[in-house]
Structure 1
């Protein structure tokens, strides 16, 4: 068979979305009703029909979920939110349907292949985790909780997405910013310049602006996005998750959530947080001491806060490692970076990206068909610049889940990069997020919808993306596309200095991530009355850099919705990513033997096997902590004639 990509509309997106989702919901409903009609069916038929319904539901969910976040028309976003609620109700009804459960449970697993058996076990597990085996009163309450959590999740995300804040500054307060930033921010008639909390403004401003008061003002606005609206949302969200977990027999939401992840239990999350925190203590303290010492050269101080870390990290990298980010960024023109990303990943994984002229939801979006060995393997959309009403962070969204011989995998990269010159950290982020997109496409040749694409345990999904970041730090690779406006390629010695400078700050970066992990875990476990106080305490204990007074970071911590209590997964995955990367030759990152083995054993299986088994298959051994520890313990080495922090 030759499956074709999903045909998007050129106009009337509301009608298309309503029809597309409506047809899929009806198809799923009809298929599930057939399973309950009393007809005797063999195991293969029952599982096949369940899969058909799953394909329909996941297709509806992907389309509606994407356009909530990216469509430029507010009425389409509103419709998409309503459709997401319908879809979630359908999924909840399915998973609480005792008659459906009895049909699947009655199937005979004998004779099923390994993946089909895994699929059957996961379906039955999902039924039980939804509460299908509870009494009618409990099932009714679980349904109410599920529906309410869907609405709260949308309210939380919308409050962040729509809350673009700004500060108004004198032109002099832009001192230190790159010339292209200043040119893009001309003074208004009153002589003041507006700088917003959107990433293309916020990230360079907190790194380059010399005016400490201006940096602090913008940081406070950034960390107050979603406040106060999201305070009540989070309280109700955490309470309902806890109630759901307890109704299902768990001690807490983290225990419920971790039960189907690699980590296993809520207590194991706490233990992992402590382990990583302890491992990073020395490196984190070294970094904080260096930042504070440098700050004291400008202003006597006992502490350093979140508005100052980016600025002083940049100063130290410039002064002690001879890396000036304003010099670095001139080599990273957005268009060249995008082209380079496709060339690098195409060479690494044996892929070809062919641009396609198809309907898109916004003119900024570019589309490509992905080919391997002359065969179309999927379609990707790149939506990489900010606009009003759009998702504010960086993420990969599914559009279509791939099914062997039936559906091509289609995914969307949603980011908020500037249109001109990029920070190198933005380049790293682009490689990271593209890792998810490639995983979705290459893992999208599965028989079963639930195993298609990025369908591993959730605390593994970041590992392939974190590993792909390494390709954004290689001198030869960067030299292939990092070219300034004069045609000069980024010098190899500059990249080597960048790599050396990267070792400075990793301690504080890991400690900050530990702080975020603790916040997501503790807010769910303890459900404190004062979220802000709890966040401040957690960040002071684990993150080393205290929060700014008067800020409410949790109100815009989007991962509290999607990742719930499991932000630890970024660190858990990073440990695995460092181990995966150890299999590559640092002097030949394109070695096809290793790259293709990685592609075929880590990415291509999707979720058809446990992540631990995928890793062991690739490495030839279970994953360990040694590679991460070695990376973390590597001290920064300053440039010749300069002192390391």
Structure 2
């Protein structure tokens, strides 16, 4: 039977708001009905009982996915608010079910003897989730957990909204923007007062901090960027950390980090600072080597400087790369027209994974900027019905999520519903920086993972449903295709149609390696902050941030700034920002299986697609990787990359 994609509402606010409300009401009502059947009259067969539970959780996930997406991307504030209310309803129902002892007893009584491996895994994960929810605690504890979960949802939404809505600006005389690319200048005419408005959104912040010759402009914008969300989010974060701590202790964990890490590859909260220190130590030599080069160049302009901070970092990195490594980012960007890059991404991933993307003209998405594609197998013999649908929402606008991420719209389940995912980014409409191209490939990796793993039997394992400290690895690995000269020449052409020279790409690769040590140390500063903020729960977040920055980062704190206030990963990743480095270790090892001279080797690509991506969460991540590599993953490839 052909499965149809989700029918989206018309883009107007009134229709969309009603659609969000109705979808939440109907989906959660259906979930409650299924749970009631399971609780009051459970099927005699364990497999059928599990199917009822899985269907109920799928209905809830369908509501949650739309609510999370629309709360972050819909252009109408009323729709975003309705979506946030739907998120709260989902959280309340999940809490209610997770604390339902009668429901737990029904599932705990199921005999796994006749279940296959996937169903047994589902039962084990489900019972574990109930225990982590607090179902086996006393009445007083369960009541408190419910209240904590309610407030956690509210605070998390307030934190995200404060960051999303806080776009800061500086006003600059046009002559002070010397050094910016001409296309950027053309897109930023002076206002009636003769000044240019520069925002903290990425299409403004990145070029200005990288190319603007005026150090005072760079510093003013950097300070504005680092202060987004402050002071509004500081009390929210302190409350968030306290709520999470109490929540973890109520179910038997010493800290939130212990609770959070228990279901990840890392296994224990105490292992996080050990891993952070291991990366920081491995990065220290390369960091100091490249920092010395950077400082030497900086001191030519600022002779008395004792160090350099992030207000000047991107600008002087660009100077080093242009003057010493023969890479000019303004020349590079002429090869990366947004439209060509987007099509090139589809062509490259289609070839790699054996996919075909067909544009959908009448998908009826939430904004005119969104482009939609149905995904098919490329092989005509296997083409058949679509595997799923993807939506690309790639340009900034008011009220939209400010970073880059893949959002689920629909979780795919074999024979039941098609997977749909959304790529949400904030790129310019003209020329792109190459690091933005890399980001686009990275985030598309999540999207492909979501679609390819959307054909599993159980909703619980659909899409990017692996351990959370593995989910970045496939995306980080896909970045490698955005660095290959032959791959780039297939779509990176200048205005005259001339392809990017292979020797320029090789120089770009060497230039990108510059600074990777101190950038790794910066990531460890962020990872340490996400961990220690949750374990120490400091009263003065700025002071704690400064201490951790001094310990891990190679760059000094800029007085009066509060970077943590807009560090959105404190919401989603909580204490687990180490995930990016953990995943990168695995990504480097995964990539070692590919032939650098033939990145499209069909056998390797198909093995990777089918053994790592397509299984979703049906197996532990370590087992998926070992199945692909033929051995357990190691730290070796990452250490070799970092040292060179």
TM range (shorter): over 0.9
- Structure 2 match to 1:384: 394
Counterpart for residue 374 of structure 1? 383
Deviations 1:471-521 (A, max 9, x none): 000001000000111111111111111111111111111111111101101
Q: Is the 8 A contact 2:336 2:493 kept in 1?
A: yes
* Aligned counterparts of 2:41 and 2:490: Cα–Cα separation in 1: 63
1:2 aligns with 2:14: no
Q: Give per-residue Cα distances to partners, 1:525-570, cap 9 Å, x unaligned.
A: 1101110111111112111112211111111000000000000000
1:28 aligns to what?
31
Q: Secondary structure at the match of 2:311?
A: coil
Structure 2 distance, partners of 1:132, 1:81, is 26
Is 1:616–2:620 an aligned residue pair? no
Q: Output the CA distance in 1 between the equivalents of 2:478 and 2:197.
A: 36
Is 1:349 the counterpart of 2:358 in the alignment? no
1:77 maps onto 2:87 in alignment: no
Of 101, 104, 107, which aligns to 1:101?
104
Match of 2:45 in 1: 42
Query: What residue in structure 1 maps to residue 154 of structure 2?
Result: 151
In structure 1, how many angstroms separate the alpha carbons of the residues matched to 2:523 and 2:453?
Answer: 28
CA distance in 1, matches of 2:32, 2:42: 17
For residue 231 of structure 2, what is the aligned residue in structure 1? 228
Superposition pairs of residues 117-136 of structure 1, within 5 angstroms: 117-136=120-139
Residues of 1 paired with 2:518 and 2:428: CA distance?
A: 26
Aligned counterpart for 1:359 among listed residues 350, 357, 364: 364
CA offsets per residue over residues 29-78 of structure 1, 9 Å max, x none? 00001111145522011101001101100000001110000000000000
- Map 1:237-636 → 2, pairs under 5 A: 237-300=240-303, 301-357=305-361, 358-372=363-377, 373-375=382-384, 376-634=386-644
State the distance in 2 between where 1:213 and 1:25 align.
Answer: 53
1:40 & 1:404 partners in 2: Cα distance?
22
Secondary structure in 2 matching 1:340: helix
**SS at 1:397 equivalent:** strand
The alpha carbon displacement at 1:406 in A equals 0.7
CA distance in 2, matches of 1:110, 1:286: 59
Conserved in 1, the CA contact under 8 Å of 2:473 and 2:587? Answer: yes
Secondary structure at the residue paired with 1:348? helix
- In structure 2, the residue matched to 1:640 is none
Shift of 1:109: 0.5
Q: Distance in 2 between matches of 1:543 and 1:620?
A: 36
d(CA) in 1 for partners of 2:89 and 2:495? 50
- Structure 1 counterpart SS, 2:321: helix
Deviation at 1:88, TM superposition (A): 0.5
How far apart are 1:293 and its partner, in Å? 1.2
Q: SS of the residue aligned with 1:420?
A: coil
**What's the CA shift for 1:391?**
0.1
- Alignment partner of 2:496: what SS? coil
* Segments of 4+ moved more than 3 angstroms: none
Tell me how far apart the structure 2 counterparts of residues 543 and 592 of structure 1 sit (CA, whole Å). 41
Distance 2:273 2:121 in 1: 29
Aligned to 1:68: 71
Counterpart for residue 17 of structure 1? 20
CA distance in 1 between partners of 2:237 and 2:293 (Å): 36
Q: Could you tell me which residue of structure 2 aligns to residue 642 of structure 1?
A: none
Distance 1:196 1:602 in 2: 40
CA distance in 2, matches of 1:231, 1:501: 37
Q: Secondary structure at the match of 1:266?
A: coil
Higher mean displacement: 310-319 or 185-194: 185-194
Cα-to-partner distance string for 1:356-398 (whole Å, 9 max, x where unaligned): 0210100000000000131310000000000000000000000
Alpha-carbon separation, structure 2, partners of 1:263 and 1:182: 47
- CA shift, 1:470, in A, is 0.3
Indicate whether 1:179 and 2:182 are aligned. Answer: yes
**Alpha-carbon offset, residue 236 of structure 1:** 0.3
* Cα distance in 2 for residues equivalent to 1:369 and 1:150: 33
Cα deviations by residue, 1:607-633 (Å, 9 ceiling, x for unpaired) = 000000000000000000000011001
Contact 2:389–2:419 (CA under 8 A) maintained in structure 1: yes
Distance 1:205 1:353 in 2: 35
Deviations for 1:552-595, whole angstroms, at most 9, x for unmatched residues?
11110000000000000000000000000000000000000100
Separation in 1 of the partners of 2:371 and 2:340?
A: 14
SS of match in other structure, 2:430: coil
Aligned length in residues: 634
Q: Distance in 2 between matches of 1:242 and 1:173?
A: 48
Distance 2:435 2:42 in 1: 58
5+ residue gaps, structure 1, are: 635-645
